Amino acid sequence: MKTEVYMPAMSPSMTEGTLTKWLVKVGDHLKIGDPIAEIETDKASMEVESQIEGVISEFLVENGQDQIAVKTPIAIIETNTSTEKLKGKLFTNTIDDQPKKKIIKDRVIDQDKKQDKISVREAIRDALAEEMRRDKNVFVMGEEVAEYQGAYKVTQGLLQEFGASRVIDTPITENGFAGLAIGASFSGLKPVVEFMTFNFSLQAMDHIINSAAKTLYMGGGQLNCPIVFRGPNGAAARVAAQHSQDLTAWFSHIPGLKVISPFSARDHKGLLKAAIRDPNPVIFLENEILYSDQESIEEDNDDVISIGKAKILREGSDITLISHSISLKMCLEASKKLAKKNIDCEVLDLRTIKPLDTKAIISSIQKTNKCVVVEQGWSQCGVSSEIISVIMENAFDWLDAPVLRLTGKDVPMPYAENLENLALPSEDELIKIIESLFE
């Protein structure tokens, strides 16, 4: 009988992939576990293995075909066996179970720089590479940053260029390696520590707060800690409560830390370079869903962007929308729709959460006299709470309406797709809130 082979979903957020290469020919006899094709997603390249025994009878996609949606049939295998017997074996070979089977496509950093457009992922990697070339004390450390080429492909190619002494795979022990990296920074090295996601930084919180943030002050200025902790923060897709949360407010609460949460590719690059050069501990919050977003960037652009400066993404005169990271997408989309209803939104990208660019916030309020703050994080003691306080204290007389906010709902992130959508701020909610100020 004929059995279809489907394009597999290799990660929670994967929706499509490229079939880079068939590893078998029509007519080949396959055993369970034989590699049949190489698939590339925005995160990794890996092999698809046969789940059944049989003979390849037809390819339904070609070598190199891209944008193949998950669950699309890609080949047909002729089997002698009833599939009933094999049911239990389907989906047993998940990617996480078989990490050694992954084949990472080699990419050389310099070639990538010739692109007109650069993704957030490449922007971060280029910033790392440029700073590592510039200063031999800069090194990268974290889980899967070297041989695996980055759990989200961010550190791809760094091991090949800088070697294992500067691109260091760690055991899965966040408290230990965060503390170790802070110790290394005390004697003049400049570690860039990748948390696979910031969810795992919670294990290292004591060292981030008590060892990194406070030592300069506790020592009367003697010992500084030039370190960057970076990695994806905020909601991912369908990974539920422990792996999907925005911790920006946690870090921004701590004196001694700087907290950056960029949106555009260019800002990721320029701000990460600034973070690495900064003599203080910097928390650099990325977002998994933004990694593939692209932006035009000039070749050899090595601009360093100052920490602590917000940026107006869209000029407007009726209301200011203040946000950071991925929530800005929603603000820009809502602004377009509201423009048709004659509401002219100004969108302010905070870029840095600590130190906060209060000047930029106040001057925008003075122009528009209305404001909505948007964040994925929870509302209580959130980033939005702080911004609203700043506005109350400094620009109350300029306001024509109360400042409102749209935040993540006060619940742990649910798994079910519909509930997950409800837990996160939505464009519809944002439009409604903004319109309520113009009724």
Partner 1 sequence: MINKTKKNNRKLTKSDAIEAYKKMLLIRRFEEKAGQSYGLGQIGGFCHLYIGQEAVVVGLQMCIRDGDQVITTYRDHGHMLACGMSPDGVMAELYGRTDGYSKGKGGSMHMFSKEANFFGGHGIVGASVPLGTGLAFSNKYKKNKAVTLTYFGDGAANQGQVYESFNMAKLWELPCIYVIENNRYAMGTSVQRSSAQKDLSQRGISFGIEGEQVNGMDIESVIDAGKRAVTKVRNNGGPYILEMLTYRYRGHSMSDPAQYRTRDEVKEVREHSDPIESLKNLIIENNFLTEDKLQVLNAEIKQVVDQSAQFAADSPLPDPSELFVDVYQ
* Residues carrying an active site annotation: 174, 243
Ramachandran class of 35: left when φ > 0, alpha when ψ lies in -120 to 50, beta otherwise: beta
Q: How far apart are the first and last CA of the chain?
A: 64
Nearer to partner 1, 105 or 359 (CB): 359
Establish if 251 lies at the interface with partner 1 (CB under 8 A).
no
Residue from 26, 108, 218, 381 binding partner 1 (CB under 8 A): 218
Establish if 202 lies at the interface with partner 1 (CB under 8 A).
no
Residue from 152, 177, 195, 251 binding partner 1 (CB under 8 A): 177
Residue from 220, 340, 342, 418 binding partner 1 (CB under 8 A): 220
Q: How far is the CB of 193 from partner 1 (least distance, A)?
A: 11
Residue from 125, 153, 258, 268 binding partner 1 (CB under 8 A): 258
Q: How many residues bind partner 1 (CB under 8 A)?
A: 39
Residue from 99, 219, 402, 412 binding partner 1 (CB under 8 A): 219
Residue from 52, 61, 216, 339 binding partner 1 (CB under 8 A): 216
Establish if 205 lies at the interface with partner 1 (CB under 8 A).
no
Establish if 392 lies at the interface with partner 1 (CB under 8 A).
no
- CA atoms of 82 and 63, how far apart (whole Å): 29
Is 331 within 8 Å of 345 (Cβ atoms)? Answer: yes
Establish if 255 lies at the interface with partner 1 (CB under 8 A).
yes
Question: Considering only CA atoms, which of 290, 171, 191, 277 is closest in space to residue 232?
Answer: 290
Establish if 187 lies at the interface with partner 1 (CB under 8 A).
yes
The structure tokens listed for 236 are 């991912």
Residue from 173, 242, 306, 436 binding partner 1 (CB under 8 A): 173
Establish if 196 lies at the interface with partner 1 (CB under 8 A).
no
Is 425 within 8 Å of 327 (Cβ atoms)? Answer: yes
- CA atoms of 268 and 292, how far apart (whole Å): 12
Nearer to partner 1, 174 or 288 (CB): 174
Question: Considering only CA atoms, which of 251, 304, 301 is closest in space to residue 273?
Answer: 304
Residues 260-289 that bind partner 1 (CB under 8 A): 279-280
Is 284 within 8 Å of 271 (Cβ atoms)? Answer: yes
Establish if 308 lies at the interface with partner 1 (CB under 8 A).
no
Q: How far is the CB of 145 from partner 1 (least distance, A)?
A: 14
Establish if 81 lies at the interface with partner 1 (CB under 8 A).
no
Establish if 229 lies at the interface with partner 1 (CB under 8 A).
no
Alpha-carbon torsion (418, 419, 420, 422), positive or negative: positive
The structure tokens listed for 16 are 């499509």
Establish if 358 lies at the interface with partner 1 (CB under 8 A).
no
Residue from 11, 185, 320, 376 binding partner 1 (CB under 8 A): 185
Q: Interface with partner 1 by CB under 8 A: which residues?
A: 139, 165, 170-171, 173, 175-189, 206-207, 210-211, 215-224, 255-256, 258, 279-280
